[in-house]
Amino acid sequence: MQDFIFDDWFDAPKRVRRAPEVSAALEYADSCGIRDHAFFQVARSDPAALKVWVCQELVVTGPFSQALLRLAAQISNVHLRSMVMVVINGEHGRLKGMEASNAHPWLLNQLRISMNLRREEVQPVAETLEFLATLDKETESILAGLAATGIGNERLILGEYGEIKKCFEECWPQSDYSRFLDANIGEDLRHSEMLCDVASSIIEQHGRAED
């Protein structure tokens, strides 16, 4: 705070072109071939695979929302911070009384209940713990955090969720999968685009050398 610069906190950012680094990361995520992962072939006919997937999603969903909050708290500019808050609000939804009935974590929990998965079954595997540790590390930096959340999560899971929805349709159609998956598929592209715009604006304003 000793180097307080008024403009950084209050000036509205101008619309900028997408930074080349951001475009390259988006291209990588879109072309990585996640839709072709062998897991989806298994999950289309194996309920046990879908149980594993839901359990790991349940472990990740809360910490991911917290990572977005930590990321927003690091952004000085009120306008860019507000853009990240739009994503956070989308993840949490509106309250009904004291219940966030449309929050993505809560919709995922409703899917768990519909699958008769006990709470005790929800335990992280080693790879999930490694992912969460990486997410924590990346969100210590604004640009790395925007990349991890906006591209490495919101963008990348568009393909994943599209394929896992097909798996539920074929293997476990009676479960309450559509509310959670449709909420994410419907919002995550917009969320990814917004976080990418924030990253491009910060790169344009402060240069590439700082991060």
- The model's pLDDT over 11-35, given as tens digits with 9 standing for 90+, comes to 998 888 999 999 999 999 999 999 9
The model scores a pTM over 0.85:
yes
Domain map of the chain by residue range? 45-204
pLDDT per position as a tens digit, 81-112: 999 999 999 999 888 899 999 999 999 999 99
pLDDT per position as a tens digit, 127-177: 999 999 999 999 999 999 999 999 999 999 999 999 999 999 999 999 999
Residue 173 burial by Cβ neighbours in a 10 Å radius (0-12, 13-18, 19+): exposed
Distance of CA 32 to the CA centre of its chain: 17
What CATH code would you report for 45-204? Answer: 1.20.910.10
- Where helices occur in 147-207 by DSSP H, the ranges are 156-171, 178-206
Does residue 106 sit in helix, strand or coil? helix
Does residue 99 sit in helix, strand or coil? strand
| Single-letter amino acid, residue 129 | L
